Amino acid sequence: MKLLTLLTTLSLLFTLNAKELKKLDLNPLTKEESNVILNKATERPFSGKYYKFDKDGTYLCKHCDAPLYTSHSKFDSGCGWPSFDDALPGAIKKVIDADGRRTEIVCATCGAHLGHVFAGEGLTDKNIRYCVNSISLNFKENAALVEKKAYFAGGCFWGMEYNFEKVKGVLSVDSGYMGGKLKNPSYKDVSKGTSGHLEVIEVTYDPSLVSYETLARLFFEIHDPTQKDGQGPDRGSQYLSAVFTSDKEENQTIKKLIGILNAKGLDVVTTLYPQDRFYKAEAYHQDYYKKTGKFPYCHVYIKRF
């Protein structure tokens, strides 16, 4: 059994890229937890800790503490396991079972087995049910959950959003506009390059799980901070590299990282601005790559630190 567990763990880890592997800090598992999380077993219905659990907060992956679901999406389906009709952005990966009939759900961060997902049952307005083993979950009450926001502009917000949603501790990422004078700008307004706004992402994160500096380092590693006229093939003022900071500490963090990059020979042109009003972009811009199944064309990870 120990050999089987080891082989299963290695199988999960080798599905992750090198960058993600470095970020993983996996929690130790009991024999029962390993049987479900690593060996894909199922706990008995109506026996799990979180089946009738109704506190307000966030459900986390038992293996890596990545946020998966909020209590607002939990409902009683009567099936005997915790049920959710929505997941946090980028938190869940769906895999077709070997029999081709059911769809397994695993943690997108570490690959831990969670349960299965079902659609078309009509149990809620969202018409989807994530059926999850309690033993695959941890829980953090909202009273203990402190959320912070960070704002980065690094070219097309589609690719920025795609990369930040994969970070452990990031609760959500929204694409939008910031920095201009025009109120309630549309994508058409911003794309003209005359509104003064940049394409920006709003990163909502749990600072107990990920630091602002970790996010800022990723920002500098998924776009070219030396490009002066845009990002990749996207040219124009709305695609310039910038960080909108909310306080002195964030400002100093960005300046420190720019100093490190400059010392390495990079001519960083990233501009710092005070945090401004964030205008969320149109719905079709949110989770663009998740919806389309495509991959970013100009946001490729390059280790710089």
Say which CATH number the domain at 34 has.
2.170.150.20
Same domain, 6 and 137: yes
87 by Cβ neighbours in 10 Å (0-12 / 13-18 / 19+) ranks as buried
Same domain, 18 and 128: yes
251-282 pLDDT, tens digit per residue, is 999 999 999 999 999 999 999 999 999 999 99
Cβ 177 vs Cβ 199: under 8 Å: yes
Same domain, 90 and 158: no
At 261, list the tokens. Answer: 């990059």
Same domain, 107 and 154: no
The candidate with the shortest Cα–Cα distance to 118, out of 107, 99, 134, 102, is: 102
* Cα-trace Rg, the chain: 21
Same domain, 21 and 125: yes
Same domain, 129 and 153: no
Single pTM value for the model: 0.60
Classify residue 304: in a domain, yes or no: no
Q: Which residue has the tokens 């079972």?
A: 97
The candidate with the shortest Cα–Cα distance to 241, out of 151, 149, 150, 155, is: 155
Classify residue 300: in a domain, yes or no: no
Residue type, 133: N
Q: Residue 109 is part of which domain span?
A: 2-142
Say which CATH number the domain at 170 has.
3.30.1060.10
Same domain, 161 and 115: no
Same domain, 228 and 268: yes
Q: How much is the pLDDT for 63?
A: 96
DSSP for the chain?
Answer: -HHHHHHHHHHHHTTS-HHHHHH--PPP--HHHHHHHTT---PPTT-STTSS---SEEEEETTT--EEEEGGGEE--SSSS-EES---TT-EEEEE-TTSSSEEEEETTT--EEEEEEES--SSTT-EEEEE-GGGEEEEEGGG---EEEEEEES-HHHHHHHHTTSTTEEEEEEEEES-SSSS--HHHHHTT-S--EEEEEEEE-TTTS-HHHHHHHHHHSS-TT-SSEETTEESGGG-EEEEESSHHHHHHHHHHHHHHHHTT----PEEEE----EEPPGGGTTHHHHH----SS-------
Same domain, 211 and 102: no
Query: Of 142, 172, 201, which marks where a domain is finished?
Result: 142
Classify residue 17: in a domain, yes or no: yes
| Measured CA distances, 152 to 64, 143, 211, 268 (Å) | 26, 27, 15, 15
Query: Of 115, 142, 169, which marks where a domain is finished?
Result: 142
Same domain, 195 and 277: yes
Residues of the chain with pLDDT under 70: 1-24, 143-145
Cβ 249 vs Cβ 125: under 8 Å: no
Classify residue 297: in a domain, yes or no: no
Query: Of 142, 176, 209, which marks where a domain is finished?
Result: 142
Same domain, 41 and 119: yes
Structural domains of the chain, count: 2
Same domain, 59 and 110: yes
Q: How much is the pLDDT for 208?
A: 84
At 51, list the tokens. Answer: 């089946």
Q: How much is the pLDDT for 119?
A: 94
Classify residue 305: in a domain, yes or no: no
Classify residue 226: in a domain, yes or no: yes
Rounded CA gap, 131 and 81, in Å? 6
Active centre residues (catalytic): 131, 156
Classify residue 301: in a domain, yes or no: no
Classify residue 299: in a domain, yes or no: no
* Other Cβ atoms within 10 Å of 156 Cβ, number: 24
